[in-house]
């Protein structure tokens, strides 16, 4: 059976059109912000076991510095906030599996994590400090570099990495909850606990048995974590953080939750 010339042309045009569609970038999906605006909700992963960064009130509602920042993100977008509790161990997998839209959980932005995810500019800076009992002989992280010493850390945290680098002989006791880490120190099950300075300072200031050692071992940028593939969303978050700093909201929230003025530098990148 012979195919007419006009039919051949139509068939060739169809194949050409299909080929163009297959190689052209899709514009149907505009990005995460459009998805959030369409649903009217942003799912934010927060830690709720380490006040004042994040905790729960008597009714079980999220409270703390990070939940307050999360609410401001929702307010800036004009959407509701769905809080999803995360831990240091599961927060990145939950982000990468699209169970949350962003991580807002005192998370340190670093080059290793940036291989699999994106970060906003820092909304706060902190560093690892050591919590001990006031009668402890531990005065520095090097004092923990002994097989008889035990340090409580969160798995996958900067504190764990620091111990492996500076005190590799010590035994590490893992806990996902700061309250559990503190209890280990108070009960002498651990010689020290390593956590963010903002948590250590807060805990030690409220417990007569505990001491926050003065040295801060890192200066870490605490950033909002985002899945790769949507730089427009990252840029929006950068602008949100910049306004959060320059408006004075960052300083106000720190004073609200820690009860003291922030001693570091509030930096406005833009």
Give me the phi and psi of 23, to 5 degrees please: -105, -15
Q: What is the pLDDT of residue 260?
A: 67
Of 254 and 240, which is predicted with more confidence?
240
Whole-angstrom distance, CA of residue 57 vs CA of residue 64: 9
Q: Which of 6-15, 139-148, 151-160, 218-227 tops mean pLDDT?
A: 139-148
Amino acid 101: pLDDT: 98
Task: Check if the beta carbon of residue 197 is closer than 8 Å to that of residue 183.
Answer: no
What is the pLDDT confidence band of residue 25, given thresholds at 50, 70 and 90? very low
- pLDDT score, position 28: 40
Q: What is the pLDDT of residues 54-100, one digit of tens each?
A: 999 999 999 999 999 999 999 999 999 999 999 988 999 999 999 99
Detail the DSSP E strand segments found in the chain.
41-46, 55-56, 62-63, 80-85, 102-108, 117-119, 124-126, 128-133, 150-153, 171-174, 192-196, 210-212, 220-227
User: What pLDDT, on the 0 to 100 scale, is given for residue 269?
Assistant: 57
> For residue 270, what pLDDT is reported?
47
- For residue 3, pLDDT beyond 90: no
* pLDDT category of residue 140 using cuts at 50, 70 and 90: very high
What DSSP designation does 210 have?
Answer: E
- Residue-level pLDDT at 5: 54
Using DSSP bridges, classify how beta strands 41-46 and 80-85 pair: parallel, antiparallel or unpaired: parallel
Structural domains of the chain in order of their starting residue, each with its CATH number? 32-125+221-258 (3.40.190.10), 128-212 (3.40.190.10)
Q: What is the mean pLDDT of residues 214-225?
A: 88
Percent of all residues in the chain with a pLDDT value above 90, rounded to a whole number: 67
Task: Encode pLDDT of 157-201 as tens digits.
Answer: 889 999 999 999 999 999 988 899 999 999 999 999 999 888 888
Cα(246)–Cα(255) distance, integer angstroms? 16
Report CA dihedral (136, 140, 145, 148) to the nearest 10 degrees: 0
- With 80 as the cut, is the pLDDT of residue 132 above it? yes
pLDDT of residue 103: 98
| Mean pLDDT taken over the chain | 87
Q: What is the pLDDT of residues 96-126, one digit of tens each?
A: 999 999 999 989 898 999 999 999 999 998 8
The reply to whether the predicted model has a pTM over 0.75 is no
Predicted local distance difference test score (pLDDT) of residue 220: 79
Residue 244 phi/psi, 5-degree rounding, is: -60, -40
Q: Which H helix or E strand runs over 96?
A: helix 91-96
Place of tokens 């040295």: 215
Please measure the distance between the N-terminal and C-terminal CA atoms of the chain and give it in whole angstroms: 70
């Amino acid at each position: 059976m012979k195919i007419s010339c006009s039919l051949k042309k139509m068939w060739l045009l169809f194949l050409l059109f299909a080929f163009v569609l297959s190689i052209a970038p899709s514009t149907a999906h505009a990005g995460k912000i459009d998805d959030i605006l369409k649903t009217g909700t942003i799912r934010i992963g927060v830690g709720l076991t380490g006040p004042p960064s994040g905790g729960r009130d008597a009714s079980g509602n999220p409270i703390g510095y990070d939940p307050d920042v999360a609410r401001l993100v929702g307010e800036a977008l004009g959407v509701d906030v769905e809080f999803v509790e995360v831990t240091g161990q599961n927060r990145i997998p939950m982000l990468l599996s699209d169970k949350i839209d962003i991580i807002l959980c005192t998370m340190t932005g670093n080059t290793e994590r940036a291989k699999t995810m994106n970060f906003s500019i820092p909304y706060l800076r902190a560093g690892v400090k050591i919590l001990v009992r006031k009668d402890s002989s531990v005065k520095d992280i090097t004092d923990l570099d002994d097989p008889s010493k035990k340090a409580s850390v969160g798995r996958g945290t900067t504190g764990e990495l620091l111990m492996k680098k500076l005190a590799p002989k010590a035994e590490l006791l893992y806990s996902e909850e700061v309250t559990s880490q503190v209890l280990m120190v108070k009960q002498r099950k651990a010689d020290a606990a390593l956590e963010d300075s903002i948590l250590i300072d807060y805990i030690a200031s409220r417990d007569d048995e505990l001491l926050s050692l003065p040295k801060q071992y890192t200066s870490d940028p605490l950033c909002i974590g985002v899945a790769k593939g949507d730089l427009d969303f990252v840029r929006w978050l950068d602008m949100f953080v910049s306004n959060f700093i320059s408006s004075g909201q960052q300083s106000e929230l720190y004073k609200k939750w820690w009860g003291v003025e922030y001693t570091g530098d509030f930096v406005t990148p833009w």
